[in-house]
Structure 1
Amino acid sequence: MSVLPPDPRQLSIHDFTYQLPPERIAPEPLPNRDQSKLLLYKQGSITDQQFQELPALLPTGSLLVFNDTKVVRARLFVRRPTGGMVELFCLEPVAPHQAIEPAMQQTGSCVWKCLVGNGRRWKKGPVTLEFEALGQPAVLTAERIEQHDGYALIRFSWEPATLPFAEVLHGAGHLPLPPYLNRADTDVDAVRYQTVYAAHEGAVAAPTAGLHFSEAVLAELKERQISAARVTLHVGAGTFQPVKAEHMAAHAMHGEPISVTAATLRQLQAHLPQPIIPVGTTSLRTLESLYWLGARLVQHPEAVPIWHVSQWQPYEEQREVTLEDALAALLRQLEITGSDTLHATTQLLIAPGYRFRMVRGLITNFHQPESTLLLLVAALLGPAWRQVYQHALANNYRFLSYGDSSLLLP
């Protein structure tokens, strides 16, 4: 294996691979959420646990940070006038709203960026889908208004026009299970591909580290005085996007919207310097993105705030800002604008060479070879990521979205 260069842009994704036998990919969830295995990596040693034991394994005084996004039924199977089916996978709203939450409340019509399956046979004209919403018959019409490289802009309209788009998707759509599961969604998935604390609709993939948490585990966390905070990152389809570039410099990270309340920022601020441990890579990327948003405010107080973190920003900043100052700057800016919630987007790529500012560990599943998620784990653990994955493979852990979990405490 090649020696890792100091600049993550020069990393070869081929140095972050392992052999994942297909039979190790979990095709279905376990009957009970908290009965999955839990690999504990703590300061270089590995032990095998069960997820229900998590509350007793966390460092004293930990703050767990959960991503409370909710997966929407983003896959629509609509019928062409000739009778054939077309699949539309809703990626992100375009008009009249680009922000996900108002877009989900839009009534009558809207435009979304979509992936189109079987699109070559859909030459022109609208396609339709009859469904039921709120106990009433309804019909959805879709029209392709622009074709781009890899996606299309689709105008949706529906009757009754008073339905919000969230109810349209709930009645007409299917859950977007990961493509590697290669199966249709079921009634079980409707429950189990959501976390028990999901609150804000907008994700097209689940924050899967959270799928292991049951009400019983959450109750025990509270009993043990393990604090909890919530952030929202609406997971995009790009989470399944393979890295095709030879080196990471040529890989474009997808942008995802994040929302964090002022109350959560104050909670993070008050918790320092005790351990902050994100539940899942999406929570981790949100927390680290908060640092970079605040650092920019500190470094450029006279500039118009930029509520976006680019994928290479952490590797280009020269001046160091403390975490305390970064959080304080975010709260000051919210006070200036009179807002109680920070809304931003992030393309943050965390790879070996990254220095973590906010987090002290991670709860996460086992990720695909040659993925940006595996790069994140390697950034946290260093070369020990191989030891962790070799142990999981040798000890019958289940992999990927419906697989087992790990608590990583480097």
Structure 2
Amino acid sequence: MLPMVVDTFAADKVPGVFRRPEEDAISTPPPAPELRFGVNYTPRRGWFHAWHDFDPREAREDLAQIAGLGLDHVRVFHLWPLLQPNRTLIRTTAVDQLCRLVDIAAECGLHVVVDGVQGHLSSFDFYPEWTRSWHHRNVFTDPEAIEAQGALLRTLGRALTGRPNLIGLQLGNELNNLVEHNPVTAAEVDHYLDTLLAAARDGLGEGGGLVTHSAYDAAWYGDNHPFTPEASARKGDVTTVHPWVFSADCARRYGPRSPQVRHLAEYGTELAKAYATDPARPVWVQETGAPEPHIPAADAPGFARVTLLNAADCTGLWGVTWWCSHDVDRSLADFPELEYTLGLFDSTGRPKPIAHALAETVAELRAEPSRSVPVRDTALVLDCTPATRSVSGPGGAFFETWMRLRTEGARPAVVPADRAEDMEYLAARGIKELVSAG
């Protein structure tokens, strides 16, 4: 095993590397609200390519705009090839940039969650060259590739520890998007996640923040997908869901104003609870948005409002993080069309109608600090195998039954068939009546 050529532990030797010197003041944002609302930060100038020439002034402008909406946190992403261009090299300059961004967010009154291994962002994959072409390594199964990712997460955790606005460290964005080029089994995924979650936790230290991971909707709806619902709902500190309206053609199948679309984030939250072994485990709607043409621009403000209100009707919701802060500038080529329209702000920094709707809805929900969400005492029983998981996705029989019940005025929870006779479990969730999806 080659030594890791990084300044991972240089903070003790070089002031300002990774950690601020103790004499520097660190801004402390307001205390975290009980129910959190934030946005995934996409730099308006240069998209994530902005990391190549990071400009703190421009980042501050973006983050101040986000804070101005009354949001409390951002999720931020650096690029894996820039952080770790060689398997045994982690660039101190790139880590410093990330830490600086977190500090700027604090100065703007925002908390931050950091995603570590990018990985996949908005239809582009970012691999360091040491994983590609002549040096190809399966990022999920190659022991040295896993070891290198673990080293990166430890480095980031140690660099970020102690910042009062840090929410936590996530392994990376929707890592299951990399499966197509990195074949992997469910058992291998479990090993990969366990190893990297342990590395992130080691980096942050005890009490240093949340440790999480994320997957796109195939983990929940995809038959035999190697990233499983169980992994999402049982590994890490919080279950993250990304209920996108384009998944399984939901918006096109049912229509942009349909109950199926407007209750999708709520449904994703309840579905996630079914796979958790801990009835009290929180669920975080970590990505949801209003992509055109799936959601026409005229419908986006209304969609944002009802999505937040419906998700907030779920007990155990950690919060909602909208995708995304700023539109991709159309001067950048080759993005799918929907990626140019997802921002709360346009690429010049002007707030769009959806930004105002989101801000007003967040303010409305926060105006009820003691707001109590009734427990869902009726549950729909989910009976599926890994090979029939698609029944719970848009177009599936279970999904359509749940949506019908919701449309009729019920507020159904979801219970897996193997827990349907577990009285202790049902009581812990407050469930008094079970409904069959058959």
TM-score after normalising by structure 2: 0.26
Q: Which has the larger strand fraction?
A: 1
Structure with bigger RCO (C-alpha 8 Å, 6+ apart):
1
